[in-house]
Amino acid sequence: MLLCNFLILFSFFIKPVKIHKTIKWYSYLLLILINLLLIIDVGLYQTWGVRIDRTLLTYIDTPELMLASISAFQMIMGSIVWVVISIVFIKLFKTVISKRMVAIRNGSWFQLPVLFFITIALIIPIRGGLQLIPVNQSNVYFSNKMFANHAAINFVWNFFNTLSFKIEDENPYKMFDDLTAQKIIDKNRAPLLIATNDSILNTQKPNVILLIWEGLTAKVVGPLGGEKEVTENLNKLVKEGIFFTNFYANGDRTDKGIPSILSGYYPQPIRKIMRMPNKSRSLPMLPQKMIDLGYKTSFYYGGDTNFGNMNTYLRNAGISNIIEGSEFDKKDWNSKWGVHDHIFMERFTKDLSQPQIEPFFKIVLTLSSHEPYEFPDTFKFGRDTEVNKFRSSHAYTDKVIGEFIKKAKTQSWWENTLIIIVADHGHGLPERKGYFNAPSRFKIPMLWLGGALAKRDTIVSTISAQTDLSYTLLQTLNQDPSDFKWGKNIFNNSESQYAHYIFNKGFGIIDKNGIYVYDFISNKAFEEKGTSTKKLDSLGKAILQNSYQDFLDRK
């Protein structure tokens, strides 16, 4: 439609009959192509289980592999149907639209700006409206039945949308041959896979609440050496559980943090696998593992789960009960992201006060501490600067979480529940220590609480990261975590523990003896500190090489 409008604009300068012919033949070719994609989509869905996407193009040089997925009867009938429906729609085009285009005449000059404005305005329906987040697959995912979600996808949009994600055929981070890189990783990871202490739980199958705190950096958490007055409730709760003092985010945004936490998967420089359902659908999923163990799962978020294709990712993970911003009154939203945390957490608390099917696994994602830092409560540090608004927003969310924990302790399920509080990523504010991608930007808190814990007032100083969480939790529940191939057990007390994070065109890696941060644009280290930098150099490059190759190989 947009192209046709631009062609009509040229009718002011070109004979309308030529515009008519161009639009007609363009439309014929488009109808033939769309109908071909339709037939391919119908033919392959039963075998592939996904709507047509750029995966199709990987078989151009070996079409026999794709054709092996369909029978000769399907191929013959598909070809016949393709030809028939193409002819039918071309006939309809001639009858309904082509005759009307004959009426196109050279317009007057005052009509030109009007038509130009209308043409540009078509960008709005293309992106799905004026909302913050453009349309994506998540907008039509609505069911816990994946077939229903797939049926709701526009196959033409899906195909061309996945084409827009340009993926390198070659790994730009390849520093070793694949076998050598894997040996480096295995050598360093193998001793770290088993806990070296007693069980931390007093029950074999606790309920689990995973509370993901938007943008909570260690720099505002007192027990981590940060500012002491921002998260006063969290600071006090540290004494009631197991607190991890050397824990890191693997990436710098929510749509990188969620796959790191729930899939134990390293983020990619620039790319974001959660935004690419054709790849993220094959990831290991902690929620699905919990479902297999008999857990009832749910996800709570006060915003739009279409953000970053979060909805698609969560439903692929098996979560059927998703509570999101659309269920709340718009008057309770801030200007951009969603409902204020206290409204959202009141709903979560209310739901938990109802009789529960146990064991349950509930995931909660807050949002009020995301810029623009808007909430209907006292700004503890004022709102005169961006930094003070940032501090105040975390103080507000800390107050909300403190109230939740207080009420949770009065519930019958508390004694059999493990609550994990963790950030989705760190932050550059309130002050940047050193360069932009320094480890301080990625250091975040993690606290385990609840009646299911056998230990209290415990500090774990192991250097670890979000990718270790799923692995550790499953092993703590006496389950096999081997699908999470990048993870390690955080309760392994080895001095060789490490944390690896990724940023745009680079990585950082930390262990107890050193820090190494490398930039692939300049091909040099930002920081080399300590006695283990040589080991960290090779390990960091091997992890980035192999994790990115894994990303490229997922179809």
Average of per-residue pLDDT across 207-217: 98
Task: Say yes or no to pLDDT of 61 above 70.
Answer: no
Instruction: State residue 161's pLDDT score.
Output: 76
Q: Is 101 or 84 the better-scoring residue by pLDDT?
A: 84
pLDDT level of residue 63 (50, 70, 90 thresholds): low
Query: Would you state the pLDDT for residue 441?
Result: 94
Average pLDDT, integer, range 30-40: 90
3-state secondary structure string across 406-452: HHHCCCCCHHHEEEEEEECCCCCCCCCCCCCCCHHHHEEEEEEECCC
Average pLDDT over residues 536-541: 98
Of 363, 372, 364, 294, which Cα lies nearest the Cα of 333?
A: 372
Share of the chain above pLDDT 90, in %: 65
Task: Check whether 6 has a pLDDT greater than 70.
Answer: no
Q: What is the pLDDT of residues 469-516, one digit of tens each?
A: 999 999 999 999 999 999 999 999 999 999 999 998 899 999 999 999
Question: For position 167, what pLDDT does the model report?
Answer: 58
Radius of gyration of the chain (CA): 27
Q: State the pLDDT at residue 121.
A: 75
With beta carbons less than 8 A apart as the criterion, state whether 201 and 452 touch: yes
Cα dihedral across residues 333, 337, 342, 343: positive or negative: positive
Q: How confident is the model at residue 5 (pLDDT cuts 50, 70, 90)?
A: low
Task: Please compute the mean of the pLDDT values over residues 324-343 and round it to a whole number.
Answer: 91
Give 372-391 pLDDT, tens digit per residue: 899 999 999 999 999 999 99
Query: Which ranges in the chain are annotated with CATH 3.40.720.10?
Result: 178-189+207-553
Residue 472: what residue type? T
**DSSP single-letter state for residue 118:** H
Predicted local confidence at residue 22, as pLDDT:
80
Q: Cβ of 419: how many Cβ atoms within 10 Å?
A: 26
The reported pLDDT for the residue numbered 481 is: 97
Which pLDDT belongs to residue 306? 86
Q: Is 80 exceeded by the pLDDT of residue 395? A: yes
pLDDT over 80 at 102, yes or no: no
What band does 46 get if pLDDT is binned at 50, 70 and 90? Answer: low
pLDDT at residue 126 tops 90: no
**Better-predicted residue by pLDDT, 64 or 316:** 316
- Cβ-count burial 275-314 (b if 16+ within 10 Å, e if not): bbbbbbbebbbbbbbbbeeebbbbbbbbbbbbbbbbbbbb
pLDDT at 60: 63
Q: In the predicted model, what is the mean pLDDT of residues 339-354?
A: 97
Higher pLDDT, 133 or 441: 441
19: tokens are 């515009």
- pLDDT of amino acid 12: 59
pLDDT of residue 350: 97
CA proximity to 255, closest of 301, 209, 321, 207: 301
pLDDT digits (tens, 9 = 90+) for 228-244: 999 999 999 999 999 99
Pick the residue with more confidence: 40 or 88?
88
Q: Which of 511, 417, 416, 544 is nearest to 192 (CA)?
A: 511
Q: What's residue 158's pLDDT?
A: 82
Q: Does position 1 have pLDDT exceeding 60, yes or no?
A: no
pLDDT digits (tens, 9 = 90+) for 417-456: 999 999 999 998 998 667 778 999 999 999 999 999 999 9
Whole-number pLDDT of residue 19: 72
In this prediction, residue 185 carries a pLDDT of 98
At which residue do the structure tokens 């070793």 appear? 176
Class of CATH domain 178-189+207-553: alpha beta
Most confident residue range from 96-105, 123-132, 231-240, 334-343: 231-240
Write out pLDDT tens, residues 184-206.
999 999 999 999 988 899 999 99
Q: How many of the other CB atoms lie within 10 Å of CB of 132?
A: 12
The average confidence (pLDDT) of the chain is 88
pLDDT, tens digit, for every residue of 146-174?
677 778 888 888 888 777 666 567 899 99
pLDDT value at 245 more than 60: yes
- Given pLDDT bands bounded at 50, 70 and 90, which one contains residue 125? confident
pLDDT exceeds 80 at position 45: no
